[in-house]
Amino acid sequence: MTVTAPLPVVAGARREPGRAASSAEEGETAPELTRAVGRYLDHLVVERGLAQNTVSAYRRDLRRYLDHLTATAPQLRVPRDITTDHVRAFVRVLREGDAEHPALSARSSARVLAAVRGAHAFWATESTVDTDVASRVSPPTPPQRLPKAIGVTEVENLLAAPDPETPAGLRARAFLELLYATGARISEAVALDVDDLAGLHDEDLALLRVTGKGDKQRLVPVGSYAVSALDRYMVRARPELARHGRGSPAVFLNARGTRISRQTAWTMVKDAARSIHQEERITPHTLRHSFATHLLEGGADLRVVQELLGHASLATTQIYTRVSVESLREVYATSHPRAR
């Protein structure tokens, strides 16, 4: 059984040699608070099976929480002593910063609060506390960022960037065409198997099977440009890449004949973006945003776009309607003679 490393003791006042530690000594976290956090971290590892990097992040965030409680409310000895006001005060410090820490963004503060809320919920479950005081503290709301879409001409330039005479270029062209044609997430495109392409040669409508979050599958139509690019890759490039491997079912293979990684996929997009001098603006997700935005600007129904993107909630898709409105405003402001 893997158990998390203990939390380090907060640096505090020096004790005289041979003197026993006192739980009330100034500058030291109360032992029971440290043990309570340790139990929660062990729960994350043993029962929930979280990745070590995730647990390490939780440990750092909870260490900062205990440091704050020790510095601002040294009378707190056990989790039951902590109130909602203590948690809210901690969130304020996260947002405003202090002598040792810079102010955090709303997103980063929400991440730290998630660790704190998780610990308090765990203590309530194991009856260490009577009520979950952190559940009443809402995380800071991050500013809503509009997805960054690029224009149709920029998309066409990007898709034409890879070299069509090399296996790597054919693979990159097919990958980019597929991202824009389907709005697939980069992880979804990387995970495609050859069997998922079975519907591409349907006489009525080419369809691609995409497996999204939660292993939910959806069928997405694929345009003729992407179908042609995939055909060229499958016929001229994939067999050459596959002969170095052991029969991988993946559509997109690396030089060893195995499935490409997310990093390789990211590099393909960035290399194409760099060749058209747009490396700072374009990411794999840019093509997904552009797919949705261009559909809506072309008159597509919002719920259809939701289905194509694999969004569980329509609210997630609605952000693209704001992108389209912003585009309309920009066109109006620059085109109408009496707009200003």
Which residues are annotated as catalytic?
Answer: 185, 213, 285, 288, 311, 320
Q: Find out whether 282 and 267 touch, Cβ atoms under 8 Å.
A: no
Question: Could you tell me the end-to-end alpha-carbon distance of the chain, in angstroms, rounded to an integer?
Answer: 68
Whether residue 85 contacts residue 69, with contact meaning beta carbons closer than 8 Å, is answered with no
228: helix, coil or strand? Answer: helix
- Cβ–Cβ under 8 Å, residues 27 and 33: no
Quick one: which of 273, 181, 272, 169 has its CA closest to 223? 181
| Alpha carbons 103 and 100: distance in angstroms, whole number | 10
How many other C-beta atoms are found inside a 10 Å radius of the C-beta of residue 257? 17
Locate tokens 């750092």: which residue?
60
Residue in the block written with tokens 């697939």: 184
The residue type of 70 is T
